[in-house]
Amino acid sequence: MKHVGTSGTAKDIATQDQLGGGGGGGAPAGTTGELQYNNAGAFAGAANVEVDAGDLVLIEQPAPVTPATGRVKLFCKKIAGRFFAAFVGASGMDVTIQPAFFRQSIAIWQPPGNGTVLPGVMGMAAPTAVGTATARTVATTNLLTRMQRLGYVSVATVGGLVSHYHNVAQFTVGNGAGLGGFFRSMRFAITDAAAVAGARAFFGVSSTVAAPTNVEPSGLLNQIGIAQISTDATQLYLVYGGSAAQVAIPLGTNFPPMQGVGAVNGVAYDLAIFSSPNSNGVVNVRLERLGTAFVYENTITPATVGVQTPLSTTLLAYRCWRTNNATALAVGVDFCGIYKETDY
């Protein structure tokens, strides 16, 4: 057989090797579905990349090893039971890819910092706030002071409250048949100016839309969130319930309400709550202590739908609050951002 080369002259092709094709043989490596790659001249299976029914699949994993300069690694990241496409570059910082604004119902509240001007709000009503808005100037002291935030401080009388909540409920847990479901993320820090004995707090979602009051957060119904209960100042708790309040789950002392007093010494937390529309009443909770390796995750699967978690017909709303309970000292909370996403 002959072919015409780039010089325009005819050349003989006698064997497959002369085509430059037909590489080395050998059996595929790894497990079924794993993408094959050249590992020093031998087949190897990519453990985190598979082909499933002809589709490329990224397997969930922690952030991969930082790539060399000029490269980006794609991977699958789980946040509160939800799986996202993500990437990490040569800086070592992993970034979650944002779902399309034109397909999802997305809402954002993000303070500008260095003042008390209320931030612009997209996709939701401005939260109702109780307490004195207090400027938090960005500084290089630590991770929290570098964050853009807006503080709220309560009165210093017994039962004083600071709160940040929505007075209308607009989303539900999933119903298991493609309806309902939500993803919420919020960043906050407790910033009391002094140690407040018996303080209480709640950060999460609830069916209650009235102004918060001084009650033990672990005894409330139709809610999911993170709380400080009045009898323990050493750690935060997971509190939840549908028609019946459930036993609060301690997170451990790696998740303290504060690590010191004042606006500089608060602990910066990122709380994510996710309920899939295809799981009836199941709620995933993830709390990350920013700047550390400490992450708490829990999947709440109701034994009886509507009892351990809210029904899919019970509308929920964003809700955060803190009270000094019976101690006549001011309490404070700094809010660093709110994000909401639903499918419709």
Q: Which residues contact 125 (CB under 8 A, 6 or more apart)?
A: 166, 167, 168
Question: Domain boundary residue among 78, 96, 114?
Answer: 96
pLDDT band at 35 (very low <50, low <70, confident <90, very high): very high
Q: Does residue 21 lie within any of the structural domains? A: no
Give the pLDDT score at 23. Answer: 52
Written as six digits, the tokens of 314 are 């019970």
Is the pLDDT assigned to residue 137 strictly greater than 50? yes
Give the pLDDT score at 25. Answer: 64
Global pTM value: 0.91
pLDDT band at 9 (very low <50, low <70, confident <90, very high): very low
Are 79 and 109 found together in one domain?
no
Are 209 and 181 found together in one domain?
yes
Written as six digits, the tokens of 262 are 């004042």
Among candidate residues 253, 258, 242, 264, the one with its CA nearest the CA of residue 322: 258
Residue 164 three-state SS: strand
Is the pLDDT assigned to residue 12 strictly greater than 80? no
Residue 17 three-state SS: helix
Are 193 and 293 found together in one domain?
yes
> Which residue do the tokens 């300069």 mark?
69
Give the pLDDT score at 63. Answer: 86
Q: Does residue 270 lie within any of the structural domains? A: yes
Q: Does residue 300 lie within any of the structural domains? A: yes
Q: Does residue 187 lie within any of the structural domains? A: yes
204-216: pLDDT as tens digits: 999 999 999 999 9
Are 301 and 253 found together in one domain?
yes
Are 91 and 113 found together in one domain?
no
Are 270 and 121 found together in one domain?
yes
Q: Does residue 11 lie within any of the structural domains? A: no
CA distance 181 to 76: 21
Name the residue range of residue 191's domain.
Answer: 105-342
Question: Domain boundary residue among 47, 65, 96?
Answer: 96
78-100: pLDDT as tens digits: 999 999 999 999 999 999 999 99
Are 208 and 328 found together in one domain?
yes
Q: Does residue 8 lie within any of the structural domains? A: no
Is the pLDDT assigned to residue 267 strictly greater than 90? yes
Q: Does residue 14 lie within any of the structural domains? A: no
Are 86 and 109 found together in one domain?
no
Question: Domain boundary residue among 72, 96, 120?
Answer: 96
Are 92 and 172 found together in one domain?
no
Q: CA separation (Å) from 311 to 80, 195, 243, 318?
A: 19, 38, 9, 17
Are 185 and 314 found together in one domain?
yes
Q: Does residue 20 lie within any of the structural domains? A: no
Question: Which domain CATH number covers 231?
Answer: 2.60.120.200
Is the pLDDT assigned to residue 11 strictly greater than 90? no
Rounded to the nearest integer, the mean pLDDT of the chain is 94
pLDDT band at 169 (very low <50, low <70, confident <90, very high): very high
282-311: pLDDT as tens digits: 999 999 999 999 999 999 999 999 999 999
Give the pLDDT score at 247. Answer: 99
Are 137 and 83 found together in one domain?
no
Q: CA separation (Å) from 132 to 97, 164, 196, 197?
A: 36, 11, 18, 21
Average pLDDT, stretch 233-260?
98
Is the pLDDT assigned to residue 16 strictly greater than 50? no
Are 85 and 219 found together in one domain?
no
Give the pLDDT score at 48. Answer: 95
The share of the chain scoring above pLDDT 90, in percent, equals 91
CA distance 281 to 314: 11
Give the pLDDT score at 40. Answer: 94
Structural domains in the chain (count): 2
